[in-house]
A and B are shown apart, each in its own frame.
Chain A
């Protein structure tokens, strides 16, 4: 069950998308998300979907990896669909039973909302699948450079983020191991009522927290032992550089967003 969590996972590769500067990818992803929220109607969604399919194909990552990533949020998707389906009024009534009514407007909205969530998640997966967590936080730190001048703790923030990203897989692995050890002693996480299963998870959290704190302590000591003292005066081993391909991508995503805005103007 825990293996389905693909957050922060990186698929090594050398595709065009893999080679882009992390800053480009971050900006392009934000533009993509903005476009998704501007998009109004089927035509815009189809354009976004087409772009996503092209990007996934270029990245060379198997589509199944993206579907696997969607599995953990299946519940949210279904929840959104149901709420929109029943709570939206308008249009013709398609189905009616007791106090529950499905209208054509509700069906359309539910469909578009689900599409929006799935496109959103899959798009951000494309970013994390093709960029190492380290490159991602480096990119973010550089992008946020301007607000560092205003005194915002950008370096600390990005350091925290890279540590968090670095340890997510470790913690998942550890949780799996502890769960296995408890299963070996007859703990049952799979059958029983929801409350029983939730109760079975509790003993999992104790050793997990203990080991997370132990790790945090050890890491702090290790960082101090190597004279880490924050971002002041730190230089970089890997300097990020923007290539022509990066600029082209940025211009491309600007055009894309403009296109979606135009489409939305015409209500498409």
Chain B
């Protein structure tokens, strides 16, 4: 049974008002336990709206969201409990830090779970470790940290709840390459250690190509593609038509093919392309 399933999920913002807009239109998705799903789509395609339905922050205009087979919007308590199981890291979470110290901010989630004091501080330490937040920062004010550090603290605040499902909305937006790689590695580590299901929204094709096992592509509130990265990135023309790009490596592979170099299908990360080209050279091919 999938951990998360949406059944003809639709969401309309400001229904009946002057600025009514359909953000999600009949979305049917199943996410199995332990999956690593990447969600891509251009600006305004409904990604953030979709992920906010997964933990019941937004209620569907129509349709249902099922967690372990049960409707998460059945009642208030269920919706509240869902928040601890499905950890959601918002887009630009650094603007949402509010406690006096870093440690207290990370502890906000576990405290709301009504855990014991010792358990809370154990969780804080664990989450800080996963997210690469050094303990020297614990007593600092979150407002004094750099942007990248704030982002890590915000992610740690969600991981401290030890969610079974970790949902991240553009966790790497606006960070430098080293910062991006660091955060992606933290996420992978958390998943490896806990077996959590991960849903990652991203603008960066490179990021999702590297770490997601499955990609879901949104366009104007609808799911237009759903499959492995290799499958999705083979539809170059369709992706471009909806304003997305393919990873640089996939682009290079395509151009090489156009030049007559027999690069195999499914090369969409730099490493895969490098290996494929090196293998071709060994065979004494054209390059």
Q: Which residues of A come within 8 Å of B, CB atoms?
A: 11-12, 62, 64-65, 177-178, 180-188, 190-191, 203-204, 206-207, 210-211
Contact = CB atoms under 8 A, between A and B. Distances in A.
A207 B96 contact: yes
Given A180-B57, A206-B98, A207-B98, A185 B16 contact: no
Q: Which of A178, A183, A191 has the most CB atoms of chain B within a 10 A radius of its CB?
A: A183
A210 B150 CA distance: 15
Q: Which of A12, A178, A180, A184 has the most CB atoms of chain B within a 10 A radius of its CB?
A: A184
A12 B159 CA distance: 44
B80 A178 contact: no
Interface residues of B, number: 27
Nearest to B89: A184
B109 to A, nearest CB: 4
Given A180-B57, A181-B90, A207-B96, A186 B17 contact: no
29 contacts: A11-B18, A12-B18, A65-B18, A177-B96, A178-B95, A178-B98, A180-B57, A180-B90, A181-B90, A181-B93, A181-B96, A182-B96, A182-B108, A183-B83, A184-B55, A184-B57, A184-B90, A185-B157, A186-B80, A186-B84, A186-B108, A186-B112, A186-B113, A188-B112, A203-B99, A206-B98, A207-B97, A207-B98, A210-B143
A180 B90 CA distance: 9
A211 B95 contact: yes
B35 to A, nearest CB: 21
A203 B76 contact: no
Given A180-B57, A188-B112, A203-B108, 14 more contacts: A11-B18, A62-B16, A177-B96, A182-B98, A183-B83, A184-B158, A185-B108, A185-B112, A185-B158, A187-B108, A190-B76, A204-B98, A207-B95, A210-B143
A190 B84 CA distance: 16
A187 B112 contact: yes
B98 A188 contact: no
Nearest to A9: B18
Question: Interface on chain A toward B: helix, strand, loop, or mixed SS?
Answer: helix
Q: Which of B18, B55, B109 has the most CB atoms of chain A within a 10 A radius of its CB?
A: B18
Contacts of A12: 18
A184 B55 CA distance: 7
B83 A184 contact: yes
Contact of B88 (A64, A184, A203): A184
A183 B79 CA distance: 10
B173 to A, nearest CB: 15
B128 interface: no
